[in-house]
Amino acid sequence: MKFCSRSDSRDDTVKNFIKAFTYAWMGIVHGAAQERNVKFHLVAAIVVIVAGWLTGLSRFEWIVITAVIALVIALELMNAAVERVVDLVTQERHPLAKQAKDLAAGAVLVFSIASAIIGVLIFLPKWLM
């Protein structure tokens, strides 16, 4: 019988945390490298960041822009995950599989439209001055 000290369990907890973080990072890297829509949103994010830097956004505006960028990319990653799971479960065309994919894509579209509106509300007044 092996006895485990508290430090052993903490070491395992830290190792498991680092593994989980590594797997999550691998998902982000895969999405950025393989997913067309993630690539598009990353390019759009770079454009928005440059525009924000040139415009001189306030701290609050940077917080909003950062949150919006993060949420759009996170939703794209979740959409890709839903697509993978649906494809893993069935290769045949099934109405529920289509609905799952369409719903996930719809969630991204809703927030992308909202983020564009937020961008207009933040940037338009600055550009009109």
Q: Which helix (H) or strand (E) holds 62?
A: helix 59-89
Determine the Cα–Cα distance for residues 8 and 31; give it in Å rounded to an integer.
34
Active site amino acids: 76
Those residues whose C-beta lies under 8 Å from the C-beta of residue 89, and which sit 6 or more positions away, are 97
The Cα–Cα gap between 5 and 28 comes to: 35
Q: Which of 84, 83, 87, 117 is nearest to 103 (CA)?
A: 83
Residue 10: CB atoms within 10 Å: 10
CA-wise closest residue to 101 among 77, 113, 84: 84
